[in-house]
């Protein structure tokens, strides 16, 4: 079961109160097939713990890695991920798509 926005934001607040560095990743745009809709969130702490979902699989791992950089630098990032229809078919997916994810530090 996916976490609710309230769960995700409450975790971000609790982690900040505990003195941890925190970033929030939000799906800001999708094209074609996308596993999560615009507005989906993932919260990440400076130890790599996370809650929520912006996509799945290797995309989520990449977002966590980028979020650790955002926590350290304080500079937000706009990330784009995609897979062409032909590639998607070869790996067993029905169609391709792209997503844009905005990652920002929580102060």
Return the pLDDT at 10: 92
Q: In this model, does residue 44 exceed pLDDT 90?
A: yes
Reference 79, options 19, 41, 10, 27; nearest CA is: 27
pLDDT of residue 93: 44
Rg of the chain (C-alpha set): 14
In this structure, of 2-6, 34-38, 61-65, the range with the lowest mean pLDDT score is: 2-6
pLDDT tens digits, 54-75: 987 778 899 999 999 999 999 9
Full-model pTM = 0.85
Whose CA is closest to 40, among 25, 50, 51, 22? 25
The token duo for 31 is 């094209």
């Amino acid at each position: 079961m996916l976490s609710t926005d309230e769960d995700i934001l409450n975790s971000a607040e609790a982690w900040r109160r505990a003195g941890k560095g925190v970033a929030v990743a939000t799906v800001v745009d999708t094209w074609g097939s996308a596993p999560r809709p615009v507005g989906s969130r993932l919260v990440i702490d400076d130890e790599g713990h996370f809650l929520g979902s912006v996509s799945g699989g290797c995309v989520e791992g990449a977002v966590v890695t980028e979020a650790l950089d955002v926590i350290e630098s304080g500079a937000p990032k706009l990330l784009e991920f995609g897979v062409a229809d032909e590639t998607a078919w070869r790996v067993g997916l029905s169609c391709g798509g792209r997503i844009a994810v905005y990652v920002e530090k929580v102060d």
